[in-house]
Every structure is written in structure tokens, then in C-alpha cells.
Amino acid sequence: MFSPQQGAQRSYILQLFVIASISIVFLRFFYLQVITSKYKIIAFENAVYKKIIYPDRGIIFDREDKPLLNNMSTYYLVITPKLFKNMDTSYFCSILEIDIESFKKKLNALIYKNGIYRPVIFQTVFSEKILGKLQENMHQFNGVELEERTMRYYPSRVGSSVLGYVGEVDSGILKKHNTYALGDYIGLSGLENFYEKTLKGVKGISYVIRDNKNRQIGAYEGGSKDLPALPGKNLRTSISLPIQALAEQLLQNKIGSIVACDPQTGSIIAMASGPVYDPNLLTGQNRNVNFSTLFKDETSPLLNRCIKGTYSPGSTFKPIEAIIGLQEGVITQNSGFNCYGAYTYCGKPFSCTHSSTGHAANLRLAISNSCNSYFFHLFRMIVDNKKYNDPAQGLAAWKKYLNDFGLGRKLQVDLPYEVSGYVPDSIRYNKFFISRWNSCNISSLGIGQGELSLTPLQLLNLTTIIANKGYYYTPHFVNSIDNSNEDEEMILSKYKKKHVVTNIPASVYQDITDAMEDVVLFGTARSAAIPGVKICAKTGTVENKQLVNGAVVKLPNHSLFIAFAPKDTPTIAIAVAIENSGGFGATWAAPMASLLIEQYLKKELRPERQLQAEKIANANLIPQYLLQKKKVRESTEKQAAENNLKAVATD
């Protein structure tokens, strides 16, 4: 028995316990409902789906405001591997019209690359039949979403080397750019890459209510919380679609490049790299397979040879050599040399490519008939110039002229991955030659061979400077951006800046221009003539040695050509390089350039010239050793695939 006092005490303790328990429950309830939003967020996410709205990328237009590329609506099937469970995988695969083994193999590859928590694009859905079935049964598939997106398509099927392509971001890109997420697309090459910030747009958000079966039943709060996507901005370029299309037609089944611009502005009219390919190959469901095929191709169709291919310029280099000689005062327009078809000053005779008896009588004859002997002499006089203490100083002066003309350095065109080419200097030769050296040791530089290596874009810029008699604008594609901001205008402003090259007088350029006109009238490029058009040009034939099966082999020569027209008021400059073509610069490169100049200036080709264009387009100049390597590789891959199928069947 408890005393009354003890009973009261026990009752008091019990009351305190009840009050404390209620207080704890209340405080916990208050904490969960007010202080923390953890469970509120979980409940919200279970009921409301945060859907990313992807913006349309900006369109790229040609100079006539015709779209070079556009956007097409499509659907992406997105899977979050961690959530992809407790469902009928067999039925899911039957809808996709894919077998389970292929499905698992592809999904596992995506998991290996991206992990199990991140949503991944499994495939693009083009079939209306498949799309309808997926939409009807989506509530049965956990961790699966259909995202409406846009993909690129190219109505004219041209411009792959310029426009570039887009691809899904991977972990490497995510480490460099924290503004992207898996599932986003990014420009990987061409204008798509260079102007990525302008073209990509801004993602939006849509909040959608889902029921307990994961079906979307409406907008959250009437869509008031949604954020619209902002489309990317459009680019207005200087590309001429007819010229671009003709350039790519001429480069079919050829390794080489064509690039043309308006010399008065630096605006690029066309840029094509061969072998050409349809840019639509790198969009859609088969993109990865097509990319792999192009990437492995021995002819390197993905390489933009206009800005990444380097060549010895051959005789297309002679006009700048002449400009340096005139400016340095080692020759005049009337300077000549005795020549009987070879340069013999250094003891060993160097024969001329063309029969050149009498062509070294003066500079104009030497350029128009591409006299090697004349330019061997001229290079010797520049490098061994007595006003310099030694040949190293003469070579340094020569190199500075070349750099001022944009040779051996990046021109900063609005494309990624441009290379600088190479202009050698005395450091190289001091290492190579044990004793003192002079012009005889490096004489091949005088005719654009040896260690000298330039890009076709650099040759175009050189041609532009000669056409303008001493100035150029940085070569570029984009003239304006719709609704551009301050940063974008800053980028474009550098393409409007005039660059004057040294202090060479206009009279020097006039001498060279007159000689380059003679190249077409009386010299090595008479086949490039167009009635009623004054063309100034220079051919180039470049010796071509390649490493084939471990041995250095002499292959057919490269054919190069530079030109501008009309002579007195030039509106187009062009550079063409065709590899392994055989013959001379006038054999392939010159007629290609002539056709493009006629199309640009006359707006159409004469009937006989249309036939010539078709004949050139149908010619296959890809060397046999590359075709053989390609054949062997494809045969090996085919055999490996067959062996894999046999192994699977055996298992």
C-alpha cells in the first residue's frame, strides 16, 4: 500500500512523463513539417516531375539567308538505370523492336560510361508506331522517359567541314564545363563548336503532376512555376550555297581542299575539304555508327584540310618570294639570270619543272612560266644578302616577312583547331648542320618545298594580301548574330579590323599582280582563262613523298593553285590543293578554281564548262595504297564480326 503522499508523487511523475512524451512528438512533428523540408521534398518529387525543356539550337544561314542547317523535332528515349526495375523487360524490348541481349549490351555500355544514377539517352525514336506504343505504356516502365527534343538536319547536304556536328556530352566534357549535364548536346567541331555559347540557348523547366502509376496528369499549379526555354541565336554567314555545293561536287573522290573569300572583307565564300560527306550522317539514330566509319576511314574525311592540312606550297609560294626580293632590293622587275633549264650555282644542278630556257630573263617571265632557276637565285640573294652578317640573319628577315603575311601562324579564323603550319628558322638548321650553312643547304625553300609547310587558308590569305595590295581582314564566316550581346559583338569586331602588311609600296604589288595575270594569259595556267574576266593566278606542283608500309615512296604530285579576280577590283580570291593528283598545278587545281570563279562572277557555268565540272567530279584521285588499306581493314572487321556471331551461337 502506498501512502497518499506517495500516490500524489507518482501521479505527478506520470503527468510529467505524458507531457514530455506529447511535447517530444509535437516538437518532432513541428520539426518535420516546419523546420525541415526533407520529407516535403520527397513527397513533392514523388507527385511532381521536374521536366527539362531543351531549347532549339540557333540556325546557321548562308549569305542569302537560306538555312545551311535547321532543326527537326524528334523524341529521345531516356533511361535512368537505377530506377529501371520491377517491370516486363521482354515487353519493353518488343516495343522497341530489339532483342533483350542487344538491349542489355547497349544499356550496360551506357552504365559503364555514365553510372547507374544519371539518366542516359538510350536511342532516338523516329518510328511513329514505336512512339505511339511507348506513350501508351509509359506508366508500366520505371525509370523511362520520353523527351521531346530537336536534332540537326541539313537540307542542302553540304558544309560538313564548316558547320561541324554536335554530340552528347560525356564525363570528360562535364569536367571542363559545369553548365552542362548528361543528356545535353554540345558543338564538337566547326561553327557548332566555335559559336557554342551563342547557338546552344538556355534550358527551361516544366513541373508536371504524376499519379501513383507514374502517369503525367497535368501541369503543377497551372504551369505558373514553369520556366520557358530560350532558343539559341542564329548566325548569318558569308557562305555562298551555290559555290559551296560546286566546290564539294568537284572534290568528290579526292583528297584535298578548296577555300575562297571576298578579299575586300575577308568573308569566306566557301570552304570544302575532301573527301566530302553528307553532314546528315552525323545526326539521328545511326550517328555513332557513321561517326566510327568516318573516323576509321584512311582518307580522313573528318579532317578539315583547309585549316588542319599542311602542304609545301610549291610554286604558289613564288609571288611572296618575289615581293620579298623586290622589297629587300636584291632584284628589280627587270632583273634576270642566265638559265638553261637548271640552277647550278650550288654545284649540283636543280632542274626546272617546266621547260624554262629564257624564262629567267626577268621577274615577270619567271612568275608566268614558273621558272625554278630564277627563284633559286632569288632565295640565295635574300638569305646570303651582304647587308646581313650571316645567312642566319638573312633567313630571319625572310621568315619575318612570311609571318607578317600570315604564314607559319594561326590566322584566328572562326573555326576551332586551326594549325599554324611551319616556317623554319636558323635554330633548326644550326642543330641539323654541324658546320656553317648557307642558302645552298636550304635552297629548296626558294621554290616552296623543303621544310616549309602551309595551310590552304594561309595561301588564301596570302592571295588576298596581293589582291588588296598590302592589307587583309582576318578570314571569317559569321558576319552577324541575331540579337547579339556585347560579348558576341566583341568576337565579331576582330573580323572587321583592317591589317596592313609592313610598308611595302603598292608598286611592288602591282608588279606581282601583272605577272600573275600573265600566268593565265601566256603562262602555266592558260586553261584557267575565262572570257571577259581578268584573272591573276599562280600554279603549284608539289613533290609528294609518303611513308607507305615502312618505306618512303614517291607518289603522284600534289596540284595547287591560287587566284583572284577580277584583277583591278577583286571580289573573289581562292586557294585549291588536290593531293596525289599527278600532273601539274594546272592539271586539276587550276580548272577547279576557274570553274568556281566563273560560277561566282557569272552566276552560272557555260554548257561546256558544266560538262568539264562533271568530268572533274567523276574523276577518282584517291591513291591506290589508301584504297587497299581501307579494303584490308574492312575485310578484317567483317571477319571479326562473323567470328563474334559464331561465338555467340556456340554459347
- Nine-digit cell at 596? 568556281
For 194, how many CA atoms within 13 A lie in the half-sphere containing its CB? 21
Q: Give the span between the Cα atoms of 318 and 367, in whole angstroms.
A: 7
Of 102-106, 163-167, 322-326, minimum mean pLDDT range: 102-106
Average pLDDT, stretch 518-534? 94
Higher local confidence (pLDDT), 124 or 54: 54
Strand pairing category for 536-548 and 551-565: antiparallel
Nearest to 273 by CA among 245, 310, 311, 304: 304
The region of weakest confidence among 1-15, 114-128, 378-392 is: 1-15
565 secondary structure, DSSP code:
E
303 pLDDT tier (thresholds 50, 70, 90): very high
Which range scores top for mean pLDDT: 26-40, 86-100, 417-431? 417-431
Judged against a pLDDT cut of 60, whether residue 305 lies above it is answered with: yes
Each residue of 194-250: pLDDT tens digit? 999 999 999 998 887 866 655 666 777 777 788 888 999 999 999 999 999 999 999
SS (H, E, C) 176-217: HCCCCCCCCEEECCHHHHHCHHHHCCECEEEEEEECCCCCEE
| Angstrom distance (rounded) from CA 457 to CA 259 | 7
Lowest mean pLDDT among 154-163, 299-308, 627-636: 627-636
> Where is pLDDT greater, at 127 or 420?
420
DSSP of 46-114, one letter per residue?
HHEEEEEEPPPPPPEE-TTS-EEEEEEEEEEEEE-GGG--SS-HHHHHHHHT--HHHHHHHHHHHHHHH
- How far lies 34's CA from each of 27, 215, 308, in Å? 10, 30, 62
Q: Give the range among 413-422, 559-568, 605-614, 621-630 with minimum mean pLDDT.
A: 621-630
> Quick count: other Cβ atoms within 10 Å of Cβ 110?
17
Work out the average pLDDT over 14-19. 70
CA distance 366 to 378: 11
Q: What is the pLDDT of residue 647?
A: 67
User: Higher pLDDT residue, 3 or 583?
Assistant: 583
Alpha carbons 526 and 519: distance in angstroms, whole number: 7
CA atoms 580, 582, 585, 591: torsion sign:
negative
- Lowest mean per-residue pLDDT among 28-37, 423-432, 623-632: 28-37
Task: Check residue 4 and give its pLDDT.
Answer: 59
3-state secondary structure at position 169? coil
Q: Which residue has the higher pLDDT, 564 or 24?
A: 564
Greatest CA separation found in the chain? 141
The per-residue pLDDT for range 445-468, each reduced to its tens digit, is 999 998 999 999 999 999 999 999
For residues 625 and 632, give the distance between their C-alpha atoms in angstroms, rounded to a whole number.
Answer: 11
Q: Of 10-14, 409-413, 634-638, give the range with the top mean pLDDT.
A: 409-413
Q: What is the DSSP letter of 33?
A: I
What is the reported pLDDT for 608? 95
Which residue has cell 608588279?
Answer: 511
What values do phi and psi take at 164, rounded to 5? 80, -165
pLDDT digits (tens, 9 = 90+) for 598-615: 999 999 999 999 999 999
Give tens-digit pLDDT for 389-420: 888 899 999 999 999 999 999 999 999 999 99
Q: Would you say residue 586 has pLDDT above 90?
A: no
Task: Identify the weakest region by mean pLDDT among 32-41, 236-245, 350-359.
Answer: 32-41
In the chain, the N- to C-terminal Cα span, in Å, equals 84
| pLDDT score of 618 more than 90 | yes
Model pLDDT, residue 353: 64
- Note the pLDDT tens digit of each residue in 355-389: 555 678 899 999 999 888 899 989 999 998 888 88
